[in-house]
Each structure stands twice: as C-alpha cells, then as structure tokens.
Amino acid sequence: MRWSILALVISLAALSAGCPLTAIKAQQDRNDAIAKYQADSQAAYAAGMANAQSDMYVVADEVWFCPSADDARKRATCPGGKRFARGQKLKVIGQEPVDGVWRSEIWDAKGSHPGFVLAAAVNELPETGALDDFVVAIDRRYPASKRIPVETVNYADLVSRPKAYAGRVLLLRQPSGQMLDKDFGDETFTFIVPIPARHARDHRVALAQFELSNRELVAAFNSGQHSYSCSSAYCDEFVIVARLAGRTVDRVDEVGNVVRLPVFTVIEMADRFGTYQGAR
C-alpha cells in the first residue's frame, strides 16, 4: 500500500512538472504566430506602398513617358513612348523616384503599358507662374475705365441693358470647381460660373454664361489631353477677359425655376495649360 501511494505521488509530481512546459510551448507558438502576422502585414503594406499610384503634373515644357528608364532620362523622343506637355497630369508609381526617374504607366485600348518618366520634369502641384503673369499683363492692358465693374454693377442691367457696357470687358479669376454645364462642342467652350454682381433684388451671387471660340482648346479637352482638377489639395484656376455678347440664355436651376442669364464672349483666357485667344 505504501509503495502504491508513493508511485501515485511520483506520477502526480511528473504531471505537475509537465504542465508548465506545455503552457510555455503554447505561449511560444502564439508569440511566433503573432510575429509572423506582423511581419506579413508589414511586407504587404510595403509592397502596397511600392506600387501605390499618385498624380503628378508636368512642370517642364514637355516630358516623355518611355518604356525604359535610360530613355526617360534622355529628355527626348523615345521608341514606343508618349509625350506629355506642360500642365498635363500623369500617374507615377511608388513613394519616390529611383535614379532620377519615376515608374509610371499609361493605358490605351490594348491595356496597361509600364514605363518611366523623368522626375525633374514633374511635380505634385502644377506650375502656375504663367497664369500669374497673365493676370499682371491684362491688368496693365485693361485699366479701370475699360472694365465692367463686376462687384458693383447691377445684375439686371447685364441682362436687359448690355449696350450700356459696350467697349468694356469683364476680368475674372476663379477656381474651375465653380464651373457649371461645361460643353466642348462646335469648336466652342461653353460654361457657366457665378459672378459677384449685385442682384436686382437680394444681392446674391448671380450666374453668367461664357463662350470661348477656340478650336485648339476644344480639341485638347475632347481628346483627353487637357482636363481640370479640383480637390482639397489643389484646384485649377482660370482667368478670362470677356465682353457682353448682347444676348441671353435661359437655364433651369436645381429647383426647376427658369433663370435668364447674360452671355459673355471670351476674348482671352488662361489656365495652367497656357493662354487662348477667342473671338474679338
């Protein structure tokens, strides 16, 4: 009997000694699993960031998208490449350029084509210095005596008495995000924007329609070479010099009311892509 009890005590001691080892092994397995999960997550994140795409704007006169990095560095035409002009937007891949070039890609009817663009020719924000220069130039060419005083003029007069402003022009600089009803048909760019004129009744900001006759601009937008961007990070601006056309258009607003708008003929316009001449 005594020997039986001793054997039982020894057996229980052995089991007790084995339990901590089992618990330690289980905890180690859990730690290994957590470490592997974290490593896999970090590797997946790094791979995702390495292939993340972002928009860049061309800030040189031109840049060539080329299938090889060496060709992209030459700043010249390349076999199988595509030219992007100043102000155009393209995609770059990754978090930073390598050896002076960004990875990039373009799409066409055949699918995606990988390639490279010169890093020095693109930037996160477009170059808008030319737009500022245009504003300075038109300020000099159109003194106050030749302008429509848009912030004090009566909106009703623009609609009913356009001849009162003959020989004067409207100068306006606004974000492209305010453009409404954009149309690029019949070689004419037509759009509606608010102007800060006094309304006949309640002084609210009023709308006007603008028309720019320019084949080059219309073709660039219709082909997809040009497009306006407006986000929290950056919004394209445009500057226009326009004269009253002496006619009106009717527009149905958001609640179904018909509103009569004055029409302006744009004689000069500038944006991040360049300057355009319209009808005189």
Do 200 and 220 sit in the same domain of this protein? yes
Report whether 279 contacts 259 (CB < 8 A): no
Do 163 and 265 sit in the same domain of this protein? yes
Tell me: the pLDDT tens digits for 177-194? 989 999 998 899 999 998
**What pLDDT sits at residue 214?**
95
Average pLDDT over residues 23-30: 75
Angle at 272 between CA 270 and CA 277, to 5 degrees: 25
User: Mean pLDDT, the chain, as a whole number?
Assistant: 85
> Structurally, how many domains does the chain consist of?
2
Domain stop point among 97, 123, 149: 123
Tell me: the pLDDT tens digits for 236-255? 999 999 999 999 999 987 78
Q: By residue range, what is the domain housing residue 86? A: 53-123
Spatial distance between the Cα atoms of 20 and 169, rounded to a whole number of angstroms: 90
Report whether 60 contacts 86 (CB < 8 A): yes
Residue 206 has pLDDT above 70, yes or no: yes
Query: Could you tell me if residue 219 is inside a domain?
Result: yes
CATH number of the domain encompassing residue 108: 2.30.30.40
Residue 140 has pLDDT above 70, yes or no: yes
**What pLDDT sits at residue 259?**
86
Domain stop point among 123, 147, 178: 123
Q: What would the 3-class secondary structure string for 220-263 be?
A: HHHCCCCCCCECCCCECEEEEEEEEEEEEEEEECCCCCEEEEEE
**What pLDDT sits at residue 192?**
94
Query: Could you tell me if residue 33 is inside a domain?
Result: no
